Each structure stands twice: as C-alpha cells, then as structure tokens.
Amino acid sequence: MSAVNAVDSLPERIVRAAVKLFAGKGFHGTSMRAIAGAAGVSIGAIYHHFSSKDDVFLAILRQEYERRRVAVEELRAQGLPPREMVQRVARLHFELLGRHQDSVKILSHTLPREHPRLHRQLQALEEEFAGHVARLLEEGMRAGEIRECHAWTAAHALLGMARAVTARALGDDKLATELRQRGPEELAELAWRGLRP
C-alpha cells in the first residue's frame, strides 16, 4: 500500500475504486460487490458510508464538480484579465481530463432514464458550476471587458462546448488525439470571439 493510500479515508478509498469501475463498466455494469472487491472492503463497510450505488456515483460527481469549482474560484482570485480568464476556463476541462480521465469519462456518460434522482442531482451540480462561471462573466461585463450578454446562457454555452469536445477527446483514435492537443486553444478562441466587447 502506498503512502497516499495509507492516509485515504475509507470513503475516499471506496470512491477511488468506484471511479475505475464506473469509467470502465458504466453505471449498470458496476455492482456494489465489485466496488467492495476493488476497494478491498466488505459490502457492509460501503453501506456504512453510502446508502446505495447511486450515492457512490453521486460522490464521484460531487468530487469532480468540486475540482472545477475550486479551479474557477482560484482563477477569480488571481484577478486575471477577462480574456485570459475565459481562456483558462475553456482549458479547464482538458486539464482535468489529463489528471482525472476516469472521472471525466463518468461525467460524459449518459445516465439511464430510470435514475431520475441521479439526473436531478447531476443537473443541480451542473447548475451550481455554471453559476460560478456566470459570476465570472458578470464581473467581466461590469468592468466593460466582456460584451453585454446573458451570463447564464453564455456560461452554459461555454460549458456545453467544453463538455462535448472533451467527451470526444476521450477516444483513442486520431481525432481524439488531435482534440486533446488542439481543443483547449480552439475552445478558448471560440469562447473569446463570442464574449469580447
């Protein structure tokens, strides 16, 4: 066991094991028994921390959106010019793809319709993150450095573009490789062209 694994809490260990399984086998292909086996714990230990497979899945989604929220807040704190801020937000998905590919893959999966609770929770997380981006855009508008626009629409459009391109960049073909290499700059340029005053 590595030093990092030794200090992980049990819920963190469970989530880390579940990320690999959900990314590889999808939501339906992953069982609580498989998560327990991959985490090296009993099923009872999982149920002590999570009430269901849905809750394990939601913990992964919350963790991934928390990474994004922290990154956007760090950008806001730096006081960067709006153009650089927009460019950095556009690159954020690709940076996370490089460091947390399995979690990004989970976000790109379509949840089955028979899981309305998961859909609602995912939408709430997306809305919260879009709010952080919208506030960033509003600050740029107040400073006259971003054109007047509906910040929430622009935030959702930026995030939708980034999500679509990074989802395709998860592949292992030539186009996916090109998207990983050129996608961040192309997205940043598209975003700025739409927002510049």
Question: In this predicted model, what pLDDT tens digit does every residue of 41-66 receive, in sequence order?
Answer: 999 999 999 999 989 988 988 888 88
For 84-137, write each residue's pLDDT tens digit: 887 887 777 777 766 666 666 676 655 555 677 888 888 898 899 899 889 988
Q: How far apart are CA 90 and CA 151, in angstroms?
A: 15
Query: CA-to-CA distance for 27 and 6, rounded, in angstroms?
Result: 27
Tokens for 32, please give them: 């609580």
Spatial distance between the Cα atoms of 183 and 165, rounded to a whole number of angstroms: 7
Least confident of 4-18, 65-79, 162-176, 181-195: 4-18
Residue with tokens 């050129």: 182
For the chain, list the domains and their CATH numbers.
Answer: 1-50 (1.10.10.60), 53-195 (1.10.357.10)
